[in-house]
């Protein structure tokens, strides 16, 4: 009886090992087949920046996860844990703002009952919009993109395109304070974080602004990276864009005149805030802290900075030049004037002379004006009353 029982145990173990090995073969074959069938993105041509930063091993995981999201089907996946899977999810979604219907990813781990050895892992997406809802929303997104790009200035260079899109989002999208406070977004599903809510619902939080800015630049063939981190201690999202041969940080949310100033207070001078249009790594670090699962490009050029390109860059403590910019804006009938100083010393001297010494009134008529000082980037905005 004991001999017979021992034989059964051995047979059961042998079957379990065979079953596990056969399953592993099936999983590996399915995974390899899936990767071979996928179109590998050309990072330089498609603007898939994050994919280009990954190791060969991570690229395989990226492609499998991308396929799972796009197909809405379960896919075999290399053995992993949830933290690592979340990192790869973030990498895929950072490159693909068009996957607006993805809310997350779930994983199932299969193991041998006797040994506890993992025999396979499968992943599949979690979705905030059904296939039917996506089918209804996508044409609306396409129409919104077409309407947006139809207004693009003819002959615009990369900077001109980036500026136009920055202004377009500021003019057509309302910051969703309810969603930012934990409520639902305008479409009721993803808390204002997608291109659908931004382009169709015209209401979003920072992630929606950033993903949409990235999406629109990508339509123009301009590489753009989705960036996450914090600003003023709160979670935030913005972009890095490759314009005219250099990388720049762009925060389209902070361009919205209905958003917040650098201190987190609501302010509205009636115009777009250009402080964070094409800034350097040093500039962005004064208010933003990067926290991404991928390396970001170094942004060192000021050639396409808004203030430089628009002739609003004050150097050498030149109070007369700063005053002339303010005076010219007032004479053109504009409601405000803005400029940026090249250094803190220039900024301190110019603002002290204009406002503390009240020399501002040498350049504008009237007895009062409002001004907003952006200490982080040494910017000045004067509102005429």
DSSP states of 34-63: HHHHS----HHHH--HHHHHS-HHHHHHHH
- Residue among 180, 139, 377 at smallest CA distance from 281: 377
Helix (H) or strand (E) holding 88: helix 82-95
Same domain for 155 and 300? yes
Contacts of 103 (CB under 8 A, 6+ apart): 126, 127, 128, 189, 190
Strands 224-231 and 203-204: unpaired
**Domain stops at, among 309, 325, 343:** 309
Spatial distance between the Cα atoms of 279 and 273, rounded to a whole number of angstroms: 13
For residues 128-134, give the mean pLDDT: 92
Mean pLDDT score of the chain, rounded to an integer?
83
Mean pLDDT of 23-33: 42
Alpha carbons 385 and 382: distance in angstroms, whole number: 10
* Mean pLDDT, range 89-110, rounded to an integer: 93
- The verdict on 365 and 255 lying in the same domain is no
Same domain, residue pair 154 and 261: yes
Kindly tell me if the per-residue pLDDT of 206 is higher than 60. yes
Domain boundary among 127, 148, 180: 127
Residues 314 and 182: their CA atoms lie apart, in Å, by 41
Q: How far apart are CA 217 and CA 162, in angstroms?
A: 7
Domain co-membership, 338 together with 367: yes
Residues 6+ apart with CB under 8 A from 78: 31, 57, 60, 61, 121
- Residue of 11 and 267 predicted with greater confidence: 267
- Cβ atoms of 53 and 46 within 8 Å: the answer is no
Same domain for 248 and 335: no
Tell me, what CATH number does 283's domain have? 3.10.620
Q: 88 and 68, same structural domain?
A: yes
Q: Are residues 151 and 113 in the same domain?
A: no
Which residue, chain included where needed, has tokens 């609501």? 266
CA distances from 264 to 233, 254, 261, 291, 329 (A): 10, 11, 5, 20, 27
Residues of the chain with pLDDT > 70, as a percent, come to 79
- pLDDT tens digit sequence for 268-290: 555 788 999 999 999 999 999 99
pLDDT of residue 48: 86
Examine the domain organization and report whether 171 and 208 are in the same domain. Answer: yes
By residue range, what is the domain housing residue 64?
2-127
List of residues 6+ apart from 142 with CB closer than 8 A: none
Do 212 and 255 share a domain, yes or no?
A: yes
DSSP reduced 3-state for 314: strand
Residues 144 and 265 reside in one and the same domain: yes
**Highest mean pLDDT, choosing among 95-104, 115-124, 191-200, 364-373:** 95-104
Q: Do both 42 and 86 map to the same domain?
A: yes
Query: What is the number of domains present in the chain?
Result: 3
Choosing from 259, 277, 309, the residue where a domain stops is 309
Which has more pLDDT, 185 or 145?
A: 145
DSSP 182-230: T---TTSSSTT-SHHHHHTS-EE-HHHHHHHHHHHHHHTT--EEEEEEE
Q: How far apart are CA 213 and CA 210, in angstroms?
A: 5
15: pLDDT strictly greater than 50: no
Residue 296 and residue 246 share a domain: yes
Contact 143, 135 (CB under 8 A): no
């Amino acid at each position: 009886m004991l001999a017979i029982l021992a034989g059964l145990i051995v047979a059961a173990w042998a079957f379990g090992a065979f079953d596990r090995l056969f399953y592993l073969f099936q999983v590996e074959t399915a995974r390899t087949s899936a990767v071979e069938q996928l179109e590998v993105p050309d990072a330089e041509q498609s603007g898939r920046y994050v994919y280009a930063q990954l190791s060969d091993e991570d690229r395989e995981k990226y492609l499998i996860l991308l396929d799972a999201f796009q197909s809405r089907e379960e896919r075999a996946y290399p053995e992993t844990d949830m933290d690592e899977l979340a990192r790869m999810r973030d990498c895929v979604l950072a490159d693909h703002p068009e996957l607006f219907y993805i809310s997350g990813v779930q994983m199932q781990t299969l193991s041998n009952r006797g040994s506890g050895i993992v025999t396979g892992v499968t992943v599949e997406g979690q979705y905030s919009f059904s296939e039917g809802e996506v089918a209804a929303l996508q044409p609306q997104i396409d129409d919104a993109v077409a309407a947006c790009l139809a207004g693009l200035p003819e002959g615009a260079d990369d900077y001109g395109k980036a500026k136009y899109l920055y202004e377009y989002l500021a003019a057509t999208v309302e910051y969703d304070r309810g969603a930012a406070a934990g409520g639902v977004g305008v479409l009721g599903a993803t808390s204002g974080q997608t291109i659908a809510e931004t382009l169709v619902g015209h209401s979003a939080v920072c992630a929606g602004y950033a993903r949409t800015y990235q999406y629109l630049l990508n339509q123009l063939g301009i590489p753009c990276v989705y960036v996450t981190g914090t600003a003023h201690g709160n979670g935030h999202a913005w972009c890095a864009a490759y314009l005219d041969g250099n990388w720049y940080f762009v925060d389209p949310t902070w361009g919205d005149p209905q958003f917040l100033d650098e201190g987190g207070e609501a302010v509205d001078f009636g115009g777009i805030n250009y402080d964070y249009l094409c800034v350097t790594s040093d500039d962005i670090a004064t208010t933003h802290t990067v926290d991404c699962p991928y390396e970001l490009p170094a942004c060192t050029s000021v050639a396409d900075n808004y203030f430089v390109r628009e002739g609003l860059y004050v150097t050498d403590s030149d109070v007369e030049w700063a005053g002339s910019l303010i005076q010219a804006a007032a004479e053109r009938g504009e409601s405000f004037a803005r400029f940026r100083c090249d250094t803190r010393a220039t900024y301190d001297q110019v603002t002290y002379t204009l406002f503390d010494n009240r020399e501002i009134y040498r350049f504008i008529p009237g007895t009062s004006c409002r001004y907003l000082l952006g200490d982080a980037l040494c910017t000045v905005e004067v509102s005429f009353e």
